[in-house]
Amino acid sequence: MSVATPAVRENGARSLRLGLVLFFTALSYAIFYWAASRFYYGNATGLLADLGSYIGNIAAALVDFRKGVLGWIGGILVALANFAPFFALVYIIGVGLRILNWLLLEHPRPASPNPLTDRHFRNIFFELLMFTALAVFVWWIVGNTVTNLQERKIASGFDFLSATAGFGINQVLFIDYTESSSYGTAFLVGLINTLVLSFIGIVLATILGFIVGIMRLSKNWVIAKLAAGYVEIFRNIPLLLQIFAWYNVALKPLPHPRQSIVLFDSIYLNNRGIYSPKPIFEDGWGFVVAAFFSGIIASIAIARWAKKRQMETGQPFPVFLTSLGLILGLPLIVFFLTGMPVHFDYPHLRGFNFQGGMRVIPEFTAMLMALTIYTATFIAEIVRAGILAVPHGQTEAALALGLTRGQMLRLVIIPQALRVIIPPLTSQYLNLTKNSSLAVAIAYPDLVAVGGIILNQSGQAVEIIALWMLVYLSISLATSAFMNWYNAKMKLVER
Amino acid sequence: MSIEAQEKKGMSVSDEVVVEMIDVNKWYGDFHVLRDINLTVYRGERIVICGPSGSGKSTLIRCINRLEEHQAGKIIVLGTELTEDIKKIEEIRREVGMVFQHFNLFPHLTVLENCTLAPIWVKRMPKKEAEEIAMHFLEKVRIPDQAHKYPGQLSGGQQQRVAIARSLCMNPQVMLFDEPTSALDPEMIKEVLDVMVDLAESGMTMLVVTHEMGFARQVANRVIFMDQGQIVEQNEPEEFFTNPKSDRTKLFLSQILH
Amino acid sequence: MTDTVKEHKRSFYRTEMLPPKPPPPASTGVLGWMRENLFSSWWHTILTFVGLYIIWLIVSFLVQFAIIDAVWSGQDRTACLADGGREIGACWAFIRVWHNKYMFGFYPEDQQWRVLVVYAIGAVLLAFLLIPRAPGKRLVMLLLFVIYPVLAYILLYGMSSLGLPVIETTRWGGLMLTLVIAAVGIVISLPLGILFALGRRSQMPVIRFISIIFIEFWRGVPLITVLFMSSVMLPLFLPEGVTLDKVIRPLVGVALFASAYMAEVVRGGLQAIPKGQYEGAQALGLTYWQMMLLIILPQALKMVIPGIVNTFIGLFKDTSLVSIIGLFDLLGIAQASLADAKWATPVTAPTVYLYLALVYWVFCFGMSRYSIFMENYLHTGHKR
């Protein structure tokens, strides 16, 4: 009777585990293959045949650069929707990596002789099961979608983006767009409108939010309560309702263009929008712009120099006032020297509407008001919490050292409060950007509204929604990448 | 001059008044926290203030650099009366250093930056000079090697020594200590007290709120016992500890010295 | 030396303690409070008056519009039109006419008691769940998350065999639909969110990866695109011939969307549980699920109740988005009512929006107060 040494037992357990893992892998692949054939092909060999042609297609797409990058991305997305073997590939790679990981990292650990009670083995089995279930589910959905699309005779792919749009958009910025432009251009117009609205909204909401947040901390009871009331009211009313209210109550009932409300003799408010003089720049304007930018550059240089000088000699320098003078004064001087190279195109009434000038459509104004006022309530709370998060001892210590209140805020309180404020603030910016998609409710032509029109006209639901998701996810991912970077950089060093 | 005082060599007391409190009263809401406080501090004095919690001892020294406002009476620091005048308050705070129970170091700045912040911004000192002074005092408190670390990386005792160095960098005429060792583990208390003893020996005027009676015996020239917002008893340490006059003082000492 | 000269001044003791005196009159009471909080300097005095003036403007406008100038009854638009030179404020008459629709949509009036019964049961169960000291939390959880949804479905949708006529979901609407969507959202998203939160903290790479993708995907896209997706793409995902109810579709989207947010809230709670709790549970020999269900989750969930309530407030506000894809929730039916030509007046829209704002506000504000209450309650609970 031979007694097995621990090492021998361990070896036996290892090969048993490996065998079981391989067995279950094979089994899960069989399930996957069966489901794929059943749901997608209806026959047993379709998967392998498609896999071959798919690899061929990817190779062809990689070689074919004539379509440009957009076309190439489109090709990949088409492949995603059209060629089910893509998932087979992902599946095989995913499971393969997991097995490899197990073999390389987890295998050498001392294990239970019985694989069924081995923790790592159980984990791997469970993971295979989950992955297979998920893959089968996705496969099933993709299969259904393809079948349904074929049934409805909708061609998938992004070719429709080059088709003529045929609809007008009432706010086109930075690029040229007419009714005869393509769907792709229209989509781009929508994207620009989303970004413009979000950007201006973020700037205004930040300003308002910081003011209100600081007001809430005021020693003055009335001011603090006023700010608290503002926050509590507007935070607890759905944004969509606020958008409707601004649009239908504040902007729609404005008078017709003929009875416009006139401000400063040159700005006209009516139910078609806000019309203001449009500056037309002449030849010398470039110098003014150049003066402005050199003012900024000079200010930065002066700020650096002043800091260096203070560090060396202790003498402070009025950086803020000098910069203000440089940034505003320099362009102003150049402006007059070049003979005021700008004139204004005033809006004027022609027929029933205004011609010329600059027009801000009421949809934009309504969105901007609602987004700013709604988001500012959240920003105010973040700012308040951030400032309160700095312990009172910090204030006391700074004051006890003889710093002035301004220095205390600038050197001690704000740097610490910002660490607390910036991460949630960024996610509010993200929320504002996502919330700008509510524009569709009042037909401000943002990404979603324009996409919706294209969706209705072309019926390319999958592609439009994929594009939406792609845009918003990229914005989100870029933001969270920034946030991770910021948090890592700003983390207070602790033991 | 008592033998006690002679032993504390080099710690001379002049008759120049640095802090004077006349009939100072303060209330928190309806709670009468300081009652008719009269106290004169001369240059070079080392005063230890003790008393049960809630007796107003912290409030008393926090009134001296106006972290708390008094509502009646007069406080005159270095010849300047404390009023609402912000400029005067800032002037006084420049001359009066303070060390807190919870250190209150600035966590976003390194030890060195903590020490140079006020000299650079308040005293308009060149950075290099401020750093030299900071290193000098960090050496005095025996942690020059930690200068480029952040407060969060230091132990409590080290943090408190940095806080002392930070105050000293402003070259103050008076130092206030608000229970500087209460938040520390026992083994760290000594390292902070050692630094404070050195400081006392260098002739600094100090007001120390503490329960460290050993420290009081060693360096104080006057011990003040407070209860219910008033000064109950004050005396030279020898007399104070061996022959307390008031019953409250006796009770307090019996509890704290067991 | 100078030291001895001052000796007599420095030794001192008190034979009698000073009694406390009342503070100077200007620093306490109403006057003291006002001096401290309203008029501490000339700058604050100006601010106080500007603030009071702004408050006065808003309040007087609202009172004027909503009460003094308001029209309380009438049969059609003529009641709310300014003809006799009188300023016309809120047209409450319009709200009265439409009120039943705002509350129940097109649910038949003789069957509306069913909705009220569902409300009542829900309110009682919720009260038991939400009051921290009420007993039987586990039983109530089971009732609320398993039995109640089934019961509510039977009552609301109907079951002919029980004598309850079937009311198609197309007839559901108003506040009732808003509450149904919010309730379904929370009932599905809480367990799903817990699963994904556990998944995200799992040691199994595949599970963790799937959870992260799920959570970040839903959190990265706006709800409105999710709703479009669920109403346009969901039918494509299903096999031919299978159709989904028009109300169910957005529900799927809302539930998945809310799950991702809930997962992040729960994850926050899981992270806040000290490592010692895990170690303690493992040391007792508990399995993973025993540890989670008996030790970790009860503590973690309790800790994040405020976060859960806040997510729910967000969800409640977000239900208004279903009006964009053509459902008649409270906001949807109100928007539809504005097209009522019989009542077209300049004050109709402001009145309706004021009313809606009030309804939504009462719900959201109430919940946020509860969340703050729980936060304080838990905070003090932990201190002890």
CB-based contact, A406 to chain B, within 8 Å: no
For every one of its 495 residues, what pLDDT tens digit does chain A have, with 9 covering 90 and above?
445 555 555 666 667 777 777 787 788 778 877 777 776 666 667 667 776 776 676 666 666 655 556 666 666 665 555 556 667 777 777 777 777 777 666 555 566 666 666 677 777 778 888 888 888 888 788 778 777 877 777 776 777 888 888 888 888 888 888 888 888 899 999 999 999 999 999 999 999 999 999 999 988 999 999 999 999 999 999 999 999 999 988 888 787 777 778 877 778 888 888 888 877 777 778 888 888 888 889 888 988 888 888 888 877 778 888 888 888 888 888 888 887 777 777 877 777 777 777 788 889 999 999 999 999 999 999 999 999 999 999 999 999 999 988 899 989 999 999 888 988 999 899 999 999 999 999 989 999 999 999 988 888 888 888 889 999 999 988 888 888 888 887 776 665
- Look up residue C283 and give its two tokens: 């040391």
Rounded to whole angstroms, the Cα distance separating B134 from B138 reads 6
B-chain residues within 8 Å CB-CB of A494? 150, 152-153
Q: Are B227 and B52 in contact (CB under 8 A)?
A: yes
- Where is average pLDDT lowest: A221-225, B23-27, C19-23? C19-23
Rounded to whole angstroms, the Cα distance separating A190 from A453 reads 11
How far away is chain B from the Cα of C33, in angstroms, using its nearest Cα? 10
Q: Which 3 state secondary structure label does DSSP give B76?
A: strand
Residue C90 exposed, middle or buried by CB count within 10 Å (0-12, 13-18, 19+):
buried
Which among B5, B15, B71 has the least Cβ separation from residue C27?
A: B71
Tally the C-alpha atoms within 13 A of residue A59's C-alpha that lie toward its C-beta. Answer: 6
Q: Are A109 and A120 in contact (CB under 8 A)?
A: yes
| DSSP β-ladder status, B17-28 and A273-276 | unpaired
- Look up residue A261 and give its two tokens: 């409300």
Which among C6, C13, C20 has the least Cβ separation from residue B232?
A: C13
The residue to which tokens 């948090």 are assigned: A487
**Nearest residue to B133 via CA among B98, B168, B87:** B168
CATH superfamily of C92-107+167-378: MetI-like (1.10.3720.10)
Q: What domains can be seen in chain A, in order of their start residue?
A: 6-156 (no CATH), 183-258+359-490 (1.10.3720.10)
How far away is chain B from the Cα of A391, in angstroms, using its nearest Cα? 9
Output the DSSP codes for A160-205: GGGSB-----S---SS---TTSBHHHHHHHHHHHHHHHHHHHHHHH
- Look up residue C235 and give its two tokens: 């039918």
Q: Do B121 and A403 touch (CB under 8 A)?
A: yes
Q: Which of A243, A244, A375 to mutate to test the interface with C (most CBs of C within 10 A)?
A: A244
Over range B107-121, report the average pLDDT.
91
pLDDT tens-digit readout, C267-278 = 999 998 888 888
- Look up residue C5 and give its two tokens: 């000269």
Rounded to whole angstroms, the Cα distance separating B22 from B77 reads 11
Q: What does DSSP assign to residue C163? A: T
Alpha helices in A236-350 (DSSP H): 239-245, 285-313, 319-324, 330-337
Q: Which chains touch C (3 or more CB pairs under 8 A)?
A: A, B
Q: Are B94 and B171 in contact (CB under 8 A)?
A: no
- Look up residue C19 and give its two tokens: 């009694």
Rounded to whole angstroms, the Cα distance separating A405 from A413 reads 10
**What's the one-letter identity of residue B57?**
K
Rounded to whole angstroms, the Cα distance separating B257 from A405 reads 43
How far away is chain A from the Cα of B247, in angstroms, using its nearest Cα? 36
pLDDT in the model for residue C383: 45
Q: Which of A307, A317, A401 to mutate to test the interface with B (most CBs of B within 10 A)?
A: A401
Q: Which 3 state secondary structure label does DSSP give A307?
A: helix
Where residue C356 falls among pLDDT bands split at 50, 70, 90? Answer: very high
Rounded to whole angstroms, the Cα distance separating C166 from C176 reads 16
3-state helix, strand, coil in chain B (%, to 5): 40, 25, 35
Q: Which 3 state secondary structure label does DSSP give B34?
A: strand
* Residue partners of B85: CB distance under 8 A and separation at least 6: none
Size of interface A-B (CB pairs under 8 A): 97
The residue to which tokens 């076309």 are assigned: A71
Tell me the C-alpha to C-alpha distance, in Å, between residue C197 and each of A198, A259, A476, C283.
Answer: 31, 58, 20, 23
**What's the one-letter identity of residue A454?**
I
**Nearest residue to C253 via CA among C227, C220, C215:** C227
Instruction: Specify the DSSP element, H or E, that contains B18.
Output: strand B17-28
Which among A123, A145, A220 has the least Cβ separation from residue C237?
A: A145
**Measured CA angle at C11 (ends C10, C15), to 5 deg:** 130
* Residue partners of A340: CB distance under 8 A and separation at least 6: none
**Nearest residue to A451 via CA among A183, A212, A263:** A183
Residue B79 backbone zone (phi > 0: left; psi -120 to 50: alpha; other: beta): left
CB-based contact, A473 to chain B, within 8 Å: no
Q: Are B13 and C3 in contact (CB under 8 A)?
A: yes
pLDDT in the model for residue C4: 36
What totals of helices (H) and strands (E) does chain C contain, helices first?
Answer: 19, 1
B-chain residues within 8 Å CB-CB of A391? 102, 104
Rounded to whole angstroms, the Cα distance separating A362 from B87 reads 51
Interface of A with B in 287-346 (CB under 8 A): 310-316
Rounded to whole angstroms, the Cα distance separating A315 from A307 reads 9
> Mean pLDDT over all residues of chain C?
86
**Nearest residue to C214 via CA among C165, C170, C264, C179:** C264
Q: Which of C4, C6, C8, C10 to mutate to test the interface with B (most CBs of B within 10 A)?
A: C10
The residue to which tokens 């806080």 are assigned: B163
Q: What is the dihedral of CA C30, C32, C35, C37, to 10 degrees?
A: -70
Q: Which 3 state secondary structure label does DSSP give C48?
A: helix
Residue A41 exposed, middle or buried by CB count within 10 Å (0-12, 13-18, 19+):
middle
**Measured CA angle at A325 (ends A323, A326), to 5 deg:** 65
Q: What does DSSP assign to residue B75? A: E
Rounded to whole angstroms, the Cα distance separating C261 from C267 reads 10
Q: Are B59 and B49 in contact (CB under 8 A)?
A: no
